[in-house]
Structure 1
């Protein structure tokens, strides 16, 4: 199933390039126009990044579940147990951070968000602080998600997926 890693890696790279190219065009146009359409399109790009992140993480879970031929809901449990057994503590921590972040993107506030708030200053991505609606007031592209999904989030999430896949299946 190494093909999954190749395809998701290339897909992530091309999505990032496309997101950036389109956003640059919109920001350039915003220099001379205050069009609502441009603002909405910039926000749409943020939603698309979040949707893409949720998608690659969910597909990763499906691949793990399929490859290990285990019951629904226990794929990531098996992955975490293997990381613990192999003393991959740092990778386990990174995986859990992104696992919680994806849960927050999907479900909003809850136990995953609370866990991320506890270590907010050491996370490899930005989250919206408790009690706030926005992370960066004044950013016309900002959307109401508790996790900021930018290029670095996507690249880091992909890196964690690739490392976990490698550890789990020893490519």
Structure 2
């Protein structure tokens, strides 16, 4: 399935967010099963929350557009580029930047690590749920009457219509 105009084509999205969006769209469009797509998404969110995802699924990949010092704001990709530069890795304009956001109370840019620096399960599940996975699928589910709170809820709650439908 060719997808345009959705998060799957964005570079600064983790693999899990892209794959979840693709699978949700396929389940809805090919199988005509919005409920199945919702349950699948809830399963991915639960696995993320339980830290079951392997590192390669949560790596965020983007491309540096300019020199590190030229950015007005110091976002996570710039912080990752700085870490790369400190390790002697290429980190100039055009460089592919790969990073993982780890658990902590600091700002996101201060919780960025390069993939090789991260232990399995060290990622911040709530960051990935709220800033990667849900934004990639919430617009799709809104059409079917689901909202981001239902997606993020720890347990699947049956909608009222399921009891009376």
TM score, norm. by length of structure 1: 0.31
Task: Name the structure with the higher helix share.
Answer: 1
Task: Name the structure with the higher strand share.
Answer: 2
TM score, norm. by length of structure 2: 0.32
Structure of greater relative contact order (alpha carbons < 8 Å, 6+ residues apart): 1
